[in-house]
Amino acid sequence: MQLENRLGSQFSLVAKAEALTLFGFSSALGTTGSVAYAPSAELRWYYNVNRRLERGKSIDRFSGNFFSVEPFVKAAQSKFGNYLEYLPPIYPDAGLLLSYGMQRGFGRHGHWGLCGGIAPIAVLDGGYTTVVKLNFQIGLQW
């Protein structure tokens, strides 16, 4: 679930509450899975708003391409199924996601979007790893 509010002509703030799910099945281990809950706030810069307007394209319902910065914190993770000790965490405890995406409106109230990003994450042993996130969304706006 997310709520996007415009901040000026080229920026918006998106408040999010996401549930990320991982499922696994093995004939030896059975079925196992996990759900992580991650609230966040994403700042988007719609860099091509002026060009879209010059070309006669719509910017309604936040239509445009964007770069974004999204700090996040994992609120909780629930594991279910058999052999939970083999299930790794599916989302880090905290991080900063850097993304590029596009969003377009359709009809009177619809929108769709596609976004991809990376998040460099510090891990317990002092090293770093990278999380890659791909997101497709479809929704309604009023």
Q: Which residues does 20 contact at the CB level (< 8 Å), separation at least 6?
A: 35, 36, 38, 90, 91
Q: What are the extents of the domains in the chain?
A: 2-140
Give average pLDDT by consecutive 10-residue segment, the chain, 142 residues: 86 86 63 75 93 84 90 72 56 80 89 90 67 84 70
Instruction: Give the pLDDT confidence score for residue 139 in this predicted structure.
Output: 83
Q: Return d(Cα 51, Cα 67) in angstroms, integer.
A: 16
